[in-house]
Chains A and B, each alone.
Chain A
Amino acid sequence: AQSVTQLDSHVSVSEGTPVLLRCNYSSSYSPSLFWYVQHPNKGLQLLLKYTSAATLVKGINGFEAEFKKSETSFHLTKPSAHMSDAAEYFCVVRDTNFGNEKLTFGTGTRLTIIP
């Protein structure tokens, strides 16, 4: 079975400081992992993905995530927050067993940027 836990429902950081959004996953198989961002009244946009290649994944807009199997974590980071990063962020997991096409989303982390 697959599941994902986003450890913080709300994160506030000052502009220009680092961002850390935490995600732990559970997977019965080798997982694929994703981070999506959702701006108000906008669709979900893919930030980055892990699909069994390099464990440090670089995405758009300066975001990165590291797949740590021993810790079952896939935390999202950015060195310096920008006002435009304010949004809802979702960690997503999919077990890569044959026939499973279901994505399981976390409950989301709302990121607020303080000017």
Chain B
Amino acid sequence: DTGVSQNPRHKITKRGQNVTFRCDPISEHNRLYWYRQTLGQGPEFLTYFQNEAQLEKSRLLSDRFSAERPKGSFSTLEIQRTEQGDSAMYLCASSLSDYYGYTFGSGTRLTVV
């Protein structure tokens, strides 16, 4: 098991385009999280899945954002009609529970031009 994998590592897109990111968690982890990190700040919570169910969403997740985890394994995060303010590092994490901690991927860096 090589940890949490995120693809792509970098994405440059024009304003108004749609983008999709993928996260492959550690295989036995039933919990999956998306966070967003802007320059000089700590990561901010976006959404949480337990298996395939999306159980919690932040108010940061506007209606242009959608996340799925169709079979309780990998997850995708889609941003529609991207804006410059969406430029950030998007981080995925997975976990069994607090006791074991949360394993983060290396992130997808999105630049909207």
Contacts and interface: CB of A to CB of B under 8 A. Distances in A.
Contacts of B44: 105
B98 A43 contact: no
Contacts of A34: 101-102
B98 A108 contact: no
Contacts of A36: 104
Interface in B17-48: 31, 33, 35, 40-45, 48
Given A101-B31, A102-B45, A107-B42, A44 B101 contact: no
Interface residues of B, number: 26
Contacts of A90: 42-43
A43 B106 contact: yes
Given A43-B104, A43-B107, A44-B91, A104 B45 contact: yes
Interface of A: 32, 34, 36, 42-46, 49, 51, 90, 92, 94, 96, 99-108
Given A43-B106, A103-B33, 15 more contacts: A34-B101, A43-B4, A43-B104, A46-B101, A46-B102, A49-B98, A90-B43, A92-B42, A94-B98, A100-B56, A101-B31, A101-B55, A103-B35, A105-B43, A107-B42
